[in-house]
Amino acid sequence: MQYMTAGESHGPEEVAIIEGIPAGLAISSADINQELARRQHGYGRGERQKIETDTVSILTGVRHQVTLGSPITLNVHNDDHNNWAAIMAPDEPATPENSVRKVMRPRPGHADLVGGIKYRHQADLRNVLERSSARETVMRVAVGAVAKKLLAEIGVDVHGFVQQLGPVKNAADALTSFQDLAAVRAMSESLPTRALSAEVDQQMQAVIDETKRQRDTVGGMVQVIATGMPAGLGSYVSADTKLDAKIARAIVGINAFKAVDFGAAFDHVQLFGSEVMDEILWSEAQGFYRATDNMGGFEGGMTTGEMIIVRGVVKPIPTLYQPMRSVDIDNHTEHKASIERSDTTAVTAAAVIAEHMVAIELAKAVLDKFDSDNIERLKEQVTIYRQEVQAF
Residues that bind ligand EPS (CB under 6 A): 9, 46, 48, 52, 80, 133-135, 138, 255, 319, 340-343
**Closest approach of ligand EPS to the CB of residue 52, in Å:** 6
Annotated binding-site positions: 39, 45, 131-133, 255-256, 300, 315-319, 341
**Nearest to ligand EPS of 20, 46 (CB atom):** 46
**Closest approach of ligand EPS to the CB of residue 98, in Å:** 18
- Evaluate whether 128 touches 117 at the Cβ level (below 8 Å): no
**Nearest to ligand EPS of 134, 359 (CB atom):** 134
**Nearest to ligand EPS of 111, 184 (CB atom):** 111
Best CA proximity match to 191, nearest among 174, 176, 179: 174
**Closest approach of ligand EPS to the CB of residue 280, in Å:** 43
DSSP state of 311: E
**Closest approach of ligand EPS to the CB of residue 84, in Å:** 9
In angstroms, the CA 121 to CA 252 distance is 25
Going from the C-alpha of 40 to that of each of 56, 134, 190, the distances in angstroms are: 13, 12, 14
Annotated binding-site positions for NADP(+): 39, 45
**Nearest to ligand EPS of 11, 301 (CB atom):** 11
Residue 312's beta-bridge partner residues? 222, 260
DSSP state of 70: S
Helix H or strand E encompassing 200: helix 198-213
In angstroms, the CA 339 to CA 341 distance is 7
**Nearest to ligand EPS of 138, 142 (CB atom):** 138
**Closest approach of ligand EPS to the CB of residue 11, in Å:** 11
**Nearest to ligand EPS of 129, 307 (CB atom):** 129
Best CA proximity match to 312, nearest among 246, 257, 254, 244: 257
SS3 177: helix
**Closest approach of ligand EPS to the CB of residue 342, in Å:** 6
In angstroms, the CA 217 to CA 194 distance is 18
In angstroms, the CA 87 to CA 80 distance is 12
**Nearest to ligand EPS of 127, 133 (CB atom):** 133
Annotated binding-site positions for FMN: 131-133, 255-256, 300, 315-319, 341
Q: Are strands 308-314 and 13-19 parallel, antiparallel or unpaired?
A: unpaired
In angstroms, the CA 186 to CA 172 distance is 19
**Closest approach of ligand EPS to the CB of residue 153, in Å:** 29
Chain center to CA of 2: 16
